[in-house]
């Protein structure tokens, strides 16, 4: 019995509909993995709908939906969503700050983020050492000798491309092997088209504004993004990390309810997830991978008379200095 066999056997017992739910504000990896799983389950005779929360922010994410004909529904638009329905979480786990707990019963999870513990799942496949969730889905096809439709392969390839920052970030041998396999069956023209639709003109204006705020202290770069969206925050962190001498990035941005954080690290001793948790300790929450992570600081937990910028710099530099002392 493969993992897919077990998942199919489980889902065949669903009392009503089956949904696939990626994290809120789905990125290319979450979209590709959800789409790949949906097609795979379809081959196995299980019909599903992909349901998500919030919005599709980035230009390349919406372009993906268009190019591959992927159907994603906002949970509020699915009238039949009920508590007798089952859901498979993809690229996220229950309890993460970036996923809304829908009325459905989350019976299974397929993810590559830090393990959050089994919160009532019947099946779980959580592999933090893997660079992209799309890699795990590709392996499901391969292990079961199921031919990957060209469109699915192309989407999965793009998912791996994006989540591993072109095979340079948090990448494992399995990512490379699956990438190699997908490459031979993908439509590379579509990848080129996606690469040419990565950001909108509005994004560029926001980037330009954000990059003016960049400050570098030792190996840590700080960036403040005014009125940006979540994906832009991550993407601008990815650019700051490419600055010579910068090995760690702390980027943050205001939201209605508080501040969103994004961290990056290419220094093995400094873990992006531990760093964001240290910065937000006692005030907010965070998590993610060793090389990329995120967090949230609710407004209520931060005194209005304090300077957020000073606070963030103080905490981040303290963390980095502590790590350096240990080595
Ligand atoms: Mn992912």
Q: 34 alpha carbon to ligand 1 midpoint, in Å?
A: 11
pLDDT of 228: 67
**Residue 102 contacts by C-beta under 8 Å, 6 or more apart in sequence?**
19, 21, 51, 53, 75, 81, 87
Distance CA 146, CA 138 (A): 10
pLDDT of 327: 65
Torsion over CA: 170, 174, 178, 179 (sign): positive
pLDDT of 153: 98
* 72-81, 180-189, 211-220, 318-327: range with lowest mean pLDDT: 318-327
Q: Is the pLDDT of residue 229 over 80?
A: no
Q: Is the pLDDT of residue 231 over 80?
A: no
Q: 163 alpha carbon to ligand 1 midpoint, in Å?
A: 6
Residues with CB under 5 A from ligand 1 (ion): 29, 91, 133, 163
Q: 169 alpha carbon to ligand 1 midpoint, in Å?
A: 12
Tell which CATH classification among 3.30.2320.50, 3.40.50.300, 3.90.1640.10, 1.10.3720.10 matches the domain 3-195: 3.90.1640.10
Listed residue (199, 207, 271) closest to 236, CA to CA: 207
Q: 29 alpha carbon to ligand 1 midpoint, in Å?
A: 5
Listed residue (194, 187, 88, 179) closest to 136, CA to CA: 179
Residue 46: is it exposed, middle or buried by C-beta count within 10 angstroms (0-12/13-18/19+)? middle
Distance CA 298, CA 279 (A): 13
Long-range contacts of 180-183 (CB under 8 A, 24+ apart): 181/138, 181/142, 182/138, 182/148, 182/153, 182/154, 182/156, 182/157, 183/157
Q: 138 alpha carbon to ligand 1 midpoint, in Å?
A: 13
Q: Is the pLDDT of residue 90 over 80?
A: yes
Compute CA distances 274 → 75, 189, 226, 288, 300, whole Å. Answer: 32, 39, 25, 9, 23
**The length of the chain, given as a count of residues:** 327
Q: 305 alpha carbon to ligand 1 midpoint, in Å?
A: 37
282-310 per-position pLDDT tens digit: 999 988 889 999 999 999 998 877 899 99
Q: 202 alpha carbon to ligand 1 midpoint, in Å?
A: 25
The model's confidence at residue 134, banded by pLDDT at 50, 70 and 90, is very high
Listed residue (212, 197, 258) closest to 60, CA to CA: 197
Q: 203-326 adopts what CATH topology?
A: Diaminopimelate Epimerase; Chain A, domain 1 (3.10.310)
Q: 18 alpha carbon to ligand 1 midpoint, in Å?
A: 21
Q: 134 alpha carbon to ligand 1 midpoint, in Å?
A: 7
Q: Is the pLDDT of residue 140 over 70?
A: yes
Full-model pTM: 0.85
Q: 30 alpha carbon to ligand 1 midpoint, in Å?
A: 6
Q: Is the pLDDT of residue 41 over 80?
A: yes
Q: 325 alpha carbon to ligand 1 midpoint, in Å?
A: 32
pLDDT of 97: 78
User: HSE-up of 35 (CA within 13 Å, CB side)?
Assistant: 30
Q: Is the pLDDT of residue 203 over 90?
A: no
Structural domain spans, the chain:
3-195, 203-326
């Amino acid at each position: 019995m493969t993992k897919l066999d077990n998942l199919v056997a489980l889902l065949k017992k669903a009392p009503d509909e089956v949904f696939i739910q990626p994290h809120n504000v789905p990125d290319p990896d979450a979209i590709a993995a959800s789409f790949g799983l949906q097609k795979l389950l379809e081959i196995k005779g299980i019909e599903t709908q992909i349901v998500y929360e919030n919005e599709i922010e980035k230009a390349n994410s919406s372009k993906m939906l268009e190019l591959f004909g992927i159907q994603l529904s906002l949970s509020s638009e699915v009238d039949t969503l009920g508590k007798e329905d089952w859901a498979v979480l993809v690229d996220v786990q229950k309890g993460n700050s970036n996923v809304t707990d829908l009325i459905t019963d989350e019976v299974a999870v397929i993810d590559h983020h830090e393990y959050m513990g089994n919160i009532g799942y019947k099946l779980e496949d959580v592999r933090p050492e893997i660079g992209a969730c799309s890699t795990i889905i590709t392996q499901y096809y391969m292990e079961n000798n199921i031919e990957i439709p060209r469109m699915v392969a192309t989407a999965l390839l793009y998912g791996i491309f994006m989540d591993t920052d072109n095979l340079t970030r948090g990448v494992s041998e399995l990512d490379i092997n699956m990438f190699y396999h997908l490459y031979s069956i993908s439509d590379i023209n579509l990848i080129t088209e996606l690469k040419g639709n990565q950001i909108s003109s509005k994004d560029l204006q926001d980037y330009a504004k954000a990059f003016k705020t960049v400050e570098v202290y030792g190996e840590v770069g700080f960036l403040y993004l005014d009125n940006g969206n979540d994906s832009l925050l991550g993407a601008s962190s990815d650019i700051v990390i490419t600055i010579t001498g910068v090995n760690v990035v702390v980027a943050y941005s205001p939201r209605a309810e508080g501040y969103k954080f994004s961290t990056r690290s290419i220094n093995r001793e400094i873990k992006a997830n531990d760093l964001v948790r240290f910065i937000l300790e006692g005030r907010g929450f965070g998590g993610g991978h060793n090389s990329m992570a995120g967090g949230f600081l609710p407004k209520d937990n931060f005194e209005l008379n304090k300077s957020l910028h000073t606070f963030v710099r103080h905490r981040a530099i303290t963390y980095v200095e502590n790590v350096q002392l240990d080595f």
